Amino acid sequence: MSNQPKFGEIEYLNPKEIEFSYSSAGALRFTVKDRYSVIKVDIGCCFPLKSPNHFIWVKDTKNNELGIIESITDLDQASQKCVKDYLRKRYYMPNINSVSNLKEEFGLWYWETMTDRGSRNFVVKDPRQNIINLGQGRLLIIDVDGNRFNVDNYDLLNPKVVIMLDRLV
């Protein structure tokens, strides 16, 4: 932090010099070895959909950016785990593995799904707006409450669902 970056320059955090850990209560702690430690930081992805493991920003509780990590994989194993766990919580976007039922009624799509975080039923309104085609079969689905779901490749879901989605995306 002592060397302030020039305007417009990215301040990369050296993965060899930084560490992430959880406090006993569960807050994400950030340490730059031999320099400083922040009791609670927030981290997030610059490209959460396209490249969630790269360009990770680190901010303090006052929303000041402490720097950017170019790639999670450059961090030590323990820090990597902390960061991945945190991002998994921060970006709550369960991956839909299968759809047992999809029903359309009065413009609402009722989904019964199994996700990587357990089973979930949800409703999507305005499917043309809220089922977003990210390309190559990948979908981002936003339900009536603003919950987000990811589908890696909708072609692999059950055929009835594929037909319905084919007509939409």
Partner 1 sequence: MEAANKKTGGVPVPQLKSLSDAFLQSIEATKGKVILSQYSDINEQGVYGDRWLIVTSKFIEVYVEKSTENYTLERSLSWDEVVEVNSQNLVGSGIIEATTENDIVPLLQYSNSYAREFNYVVRALSKMHALSETERENYIYRGISDSGKKFCEKCGRLIPEWTASCPACIDKGAILKRLLAYAWPFRKQLILLTLLMLGGTALDLLPPYLGGVILIDKVLGGKPENGRQILAMVVVGLFAIQLLGTLFSVIRGRMAAWLSASLVYELRKKTYESLQKLSLSYFDKRQTGAIMSRVVHDVNGLNNFLIEGVQYFLVQVLLLIGIGAILFSINPKLAFWVIIPAPVVVFLSFHFWKYIWKLFASFWHRNSKMTAVLNDSLSGVRVIKAFAQEDRELDRFDQRSRDLYNASVQAEQSWATLFPWLSFVLTLGSLFVYFIGGSDVLLGTATVGQLVTFMNYIGRFYGPLQFLSRITDWLTRSLTSAERVFEILDAQPDVVDAPEPIRLPHIKGDVRFENVTFGYDEHDPVLQNVSFTVKAGEMLGVVGHSGAGKSTIINLLCRFYDPNEGRITIDGVDLREIAQQDIRSQVGMVLQETFLFNGTIAENIAYAKPKATMEEIVRAAKVANAHDYITSFPNGYDTFVGERGARLSGGERQRIAIARAILHDPRILILDEATSAVDTETEQKIQEAIDRLVQNRTTVAIAHRLSTLRNADKLIIIEDGKIVEAGSPDELLAKKGHYYNLVMAQEIKSKAEEEKQHEQPA
Query: What is d(CA 26, CA 3) in angstroms, rounded to the nearest whole number?
Result: 30
Could you give the string, one character per residue 66-105, with x where binding to partner 1 holds by CB under 8 A and - elsewhere?
Answer: -------------------x--xxxxxxx------x-x-x
Count Cβ neighbours within 10 Å for each residue of 98-130 and write b for 16 or more, e otherwise.
ebeebeeeeeebebebebeeeeeebebeebeeb
Minimum CB–partner distance for residue 103 and partner 1 (Å): 6
Could you give the string, one character per residue 141-160, with x where binding to partner 1 holds by CB under 8 A and - elsewhere?
Answer: ---xxxxx------------
Minimum CB–partner distance for residue 18 and partner 1 (Å): 20
Query: What is d(CA 115, CA 97) in angstroms, rounded to the nearest whole number?
Result: 5
Element (H, E) at 25: none
Residue number, 64 or 101, with CB nearest to partner 1: 101
107 touching partner 1, by CB under 8 A: yes
Residue number, 15 or 48, with CB nearest to partner 1: 48
Beta bridge partners, 96, equal 115
Residue number, 14 or 119, with CB nearest to partner 1: 119
Q: Coil, strand, or helix at residue 31?
A: strand
Residue number, 16 or 128, with CB nearest to partner 1: 128
Residue number, 12 or 22, with CB nearest to partner 1: 22
Query: What is d(CA 126, CA 142) in angstroms, rounded to the nearest whole number?
Result: 10
Which residues in the 17-36 window bind partner 1 by CB under 8 A? Answer: 23-27
Query: What is d(CA 22, CA 53) in angstroms, rounded to the nearest whole number?
Result: 19
Minimum CB–partner distance for residue 14 and partner 1 (Å): 26
The set of residues, in sequence order, having a beta carbon less than 8 Å from that of 104 and lying 6+ positions away, is 110, 164
Which residues are near partner 1 by CB under 8 A? Answer: 23-27, 39-40, 42, 48, 85, 88-94, 101, 103, 105-108, 110, 112, 115, 117-123, 125, 128, 144-148, 166-168
